[in-house]
Structure 1
Amino acid sequence: MSGAGKSTVLDALEDMGWDCVDNLPTALLEHFVHGEREARQTIPVAVGMDVRSRGFDPWDLPALLRSIEGVRPEILYLDCAGSELVRRYDETRRRHPLAPDRPPEDGIARERDITAPLRRLADAVIDTTDLTPAELREELLRRYGGDVDQPVLTVTSFGFARGISRSADLVFDLRFVANPHWVDDLRPLTGQDQSVRDYCAEDPAWNPMMEQIESLLIGLIPRYWAAGKSYLTVAFGCTGGRHRSVAAAVEMAERLRGAGFSPNVRHRDLATPPSDTIEEQPAKSRGAGE
């Protein structure tokens, strides 16, 4: 999607040593790839394309890539929520390529429809709605900075009040756990702080829940890898995304490392300020100050 971060991705890959080119006409794609193979066969190549690229056809592109002899292609599709794309176009004062004389919403809707088949056939999709440019670069470094054959496991936290995690493959809802937000001393802290983690662990359901999820993941993750899935994101959600979900993500990452996995950890809403407005009131108090 135009505005979803293609330039940021190409810049990041170039910094990692990739040969990158943007808006290459599809008629030149095979010639370019073969030329790079003959010159430096060990250098990976990234080609950025969108609806502005000459000859761009989302129906034919996957077959064209597979027809190039001697290469192993991968399609990475960059997606983004329409409202965020509109904000980005307003912020940069650029016009959408498919709506030069109309509101950007019209171009975004048309582009989403045009590229839908390419999204369905993509090997990987990154939704950049909630990612800063720095976070997008970190995600690319995790995926492409080392051995691209190594599956990537990410454990993330988020707040339901700000929308469910868009990148999640598995989601666990922790809103049934007693909320540290309503403890005055814990409200300004986060699930990364030991006192918050200790408070969550006092809930009778916490340890059995974490053990069951750990057992489930240890059994499922290898099955995902065996099925050819290269990226797996396990998400924990609470109301605000600052306490319970963060504590669970931190603890589960530790448990998975102990089981031999190497998860990345990301907290989507950790930097957002605490808010009584979005947090649910506790059903009953567990102690003074709640």
Structure 2
Amino acid sequence: MSETETDLVHMPELVIVSGMSGAGRTEAMHVFEDLGYFCVDNLPSSLIGNLLELTGMPGQPDEKRRLAVVCDARNRDFFINLTAELNKLKALGIDYRVLFLDAADEKLIARYKSSRRRHPLCADGASIAQGIERERDLLFELRENAHHVIDTTDMLPPQLRGSIRALFAPGEDRTGLSVTVYSFGFKHGAPLDADLVMDVRFLPNPFYDPDLRSLTGLDAPVRDFVLYRSETEEFQKRWHALLDCVMPGYVAEGKQQLAIAIGCTGGQHRSVALAEATGDYLKAKGYRVSIAHRDLKLAENADGHLVADAEAAAPAPVSGR
């Protein structure tokens, strides 16, 4: 079992997110979505048991079903039954944890003023401060019995995300970033969605070797031609050093998706081999990586073989290479 799979086994089946309005519940739910939880906002407590009985939830095999629900003062009439529902879950042996988000009253007031939204307990014309006081009274027992309490008074969103990950998915900071490494050919257009673009057209081109022309970077002869050359070995040392520098920064900033595009002329040989190598390097570093090849099939004919002029637009080979 891998380290990531071990961490997932210890993640609770159910997380109940509650706390003061304006303390960061929405941001918290985004984190749980990224961790693979099926998330439901503003759920009446009496329906938690029903939700746990459902099967076939989107994106989740039943044996790994994990739920995160927000239960808060917006459902005031249902909220008073939350303690009884939690006792039922405990009796059934459901692995659950309660996360309570809090913040100082003055910070909550400031956040509501800046958002211009009405506090859920101010429907009768009460002030924001009065609504906060009512909410604290309503949530007092839950806060006292919560498994985790996070004070977000002085937190920025990335700090809150990091705190939640540290509690519910320790050691998974890197796997929280979904990385796509893909190859492409500049002759088919530059990528529009990439965060990082690496041009590898400076490397020797297998297209000019008749034995390699009809193959791709997924084939061992092409892969060896591209990767095991002094030019490529030197490039990869510097490329890996760059990735080692920037990737932790993306994680620290809370970035959830990162696209790395590696391009050659036609997207068949050099970029394919190096996209595979880059993806393998990042996987070995603990990142969650998928590898794709944008233009690999563009040069195939009806029989599934590469067309001979797959890189016809490639620059002429340098004499003596």
With structure 1 as the length reference, what TM-score do the two structures score? 0.49
Q: Larger radius of gyration, structure 1 or 2?
A: 2
